[in-house]
């Protein structure tokens, strides 16, 4: 199936390949500098522009590194969970909801063993996941709660948003459906503005698949479908980014201004590391709120704008801004990958991502694309049936009115 061959643009398979590449590329670019501030990145690296970058924790002992390795193309849980969601779609061949989080995703993270690049061994992914993602197993298997309530009580973060791009692909060209499905599925994992961002991001990815879509249309879609603090944060960051773009601002000014724009909605700031000094203190950044937003999605949209939609520049600018660099890179990469298609895939980068992580990203993307095509064809058949039924209802209604 090709969605847009008539327009001469990338087809569905090509866009999905580019989206998946964008996820892995943005993730691996940001992973070596995650949790550093922008100033710390400048001090240590100058500016990170290549996948072949050493992790800032290289040289620490294994305990300090939590047994992990990063750098030189290694991806994190963002990519691993994105691939997990793609496998669930490939197996089910239908739209997903919270019950699939409770079955498919629990199996993927807790009961399937695969190569985990950061741990350099074959193991269930849960051994690598952060606590808000381990929550999926805790709530949906060990606690056995209603899947729709799985996210209740979880630490609010970007964990659902970081892997939700495949929902946008499944609902390509239908942002409202992407938003709804992302919310239905990720409700088994996240709550509040952590859930809201997942819906808005999936919608943006779905809009990016529309042939000829502009970046302005993609950004406006995310804003218009978002609610509460997420919508307000997107509006503020986008307004700032558009002004910076008009001024031709440099990278340091862009980061400073965008961080200032997101600050009222995200108390996180540069203090993103967890340690014993924070024991017993739950920060406001991770509590449910209708006023707050995760940082990563609004900032990702902002960097897309200031880079003028240029894939590589937007990823590089985003990951050099510090903080949750890998997830910002993932969101930028997914949106612009889906929008531009295979032209964003550098063969050398793609080869490094595959070799460093023991992956076959193009083949994984193609298998997922086949499932997406099947789901789309089912959607089209249902839409035809619905339209036919409505025509009959309308026709008979007005015929009776005429009598």
Residues annotated within a binding site:
76-78, 324, 326-327
Burial 201-231 (b: 16+ CB within 10 A, else e): bbbbbbbbbbbebebeebbebbbebbebbbb
In this structure, what token pair is assigned to residue 244? 């910076």
Half-sphere exposure for 400 (CA within 13 Å, toward CB): 6
Among 190, 78, 191, 68, smallest CA distance to 127 is for 68
CB-based contact 207:269 (threshold 8 Å): no
In angstroms, the CA 376 to CA 171 distance is 8
Which parts are annotated binding residues for Mg(2+)?
A: 76-78, 324, 326-327
Residue 362, SS3 per DSSP: helix
Among 172, 32, 193, 30, smallest CA distance to 89 is for 172
List Cβ neighbours of 333 (8 Å cut-off, separation of 6 or more): 19, 21, 22, 23, 24, 25, 26, 27, 311, 315
CB-based contact 106:100 (threshold 8 Å): no
Residue with tokens 């070596």: 32
In angstroms, the CA 123 to CA 208 distance is 35
């Amino acid at each position: 199936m090709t969605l847009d061959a008539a327009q001469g643009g990338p087809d569905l398979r090509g866009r999905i390949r580019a989206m998946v590449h964008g996820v892995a590329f943005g993730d691996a670019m940001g992973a070596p500098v995650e949790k550093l501030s922008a100033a710390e990145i400048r001090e240590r690296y100058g500016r990170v522009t290549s996948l072949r970058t050493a992790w800032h924790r290289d040289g620490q002992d294994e305990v300090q590194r939590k047994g992990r390795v990063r750098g030189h193309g290694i991806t994190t849980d963002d990519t691993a969970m994105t691939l997990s969601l793609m496998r669930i779609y490939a197996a089910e061949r239908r739209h997903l909801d919270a019950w699939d989080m409770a079955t498919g995703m629990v199996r993927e993270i807790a009961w399937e063993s695969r190569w985990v690049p950061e741990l350099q061994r074959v193991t269930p992914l849960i051994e690598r996941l952060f606590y808000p993602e381990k929550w999926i197993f805790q709530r949906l298997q060990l606690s056995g709660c209603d899947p729709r309530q799985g996210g209740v009580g979880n630490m609010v973060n970007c964990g659902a948003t970081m892997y939700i791009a495949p929902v946008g692909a499944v609902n390509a060209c239908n942002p409202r459906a992407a938003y709804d499905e992302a919310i239905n599925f990720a409700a088994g994992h996240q709550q509040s503005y952590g859930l809201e961002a997942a819906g808005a991001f999936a919608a943006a990815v779905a809009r990016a698949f529309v042939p000829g879509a502009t970046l302005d249309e993609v950004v406006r879609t995310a804003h218009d479908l978002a609610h509460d603090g997420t919508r307000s944060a997107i509006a503020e960051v986008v307004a700032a980014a558009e002004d910076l773009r008009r001024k031709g601002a440099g990278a340091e000014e862009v980061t400073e201004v965008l961080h200032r724009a997101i600050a009222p909605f995200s108390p996180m700031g540069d203090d993103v590391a967890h340690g014993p000094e924070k024991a017993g203190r739950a920060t406001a950044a991770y509590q449910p709120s209708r006023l707050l937003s995760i940082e990563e999605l609004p900032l990702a949209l902002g960097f897309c704008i200031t880079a003028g939609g240029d894939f590589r520049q937007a990823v590089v600018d985003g990951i050099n801004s510090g903080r949750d660099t890998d997830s910002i890179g993932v969101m930028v990469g997914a949106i612009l990958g889906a929008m531009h298609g295979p032209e964003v895939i550098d063969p050398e980068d793609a080869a490094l991502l595959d070799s460093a992580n023991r992956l076959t990203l193009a083949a994984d993307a193609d298998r997922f694309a086949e499932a997406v095509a099947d789901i789309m064809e089912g959607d089209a058949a249902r839409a035809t049936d619905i339209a036919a039924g409505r025509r009959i209802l309308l026709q008979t209604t007005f015929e009776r009115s005429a009598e």
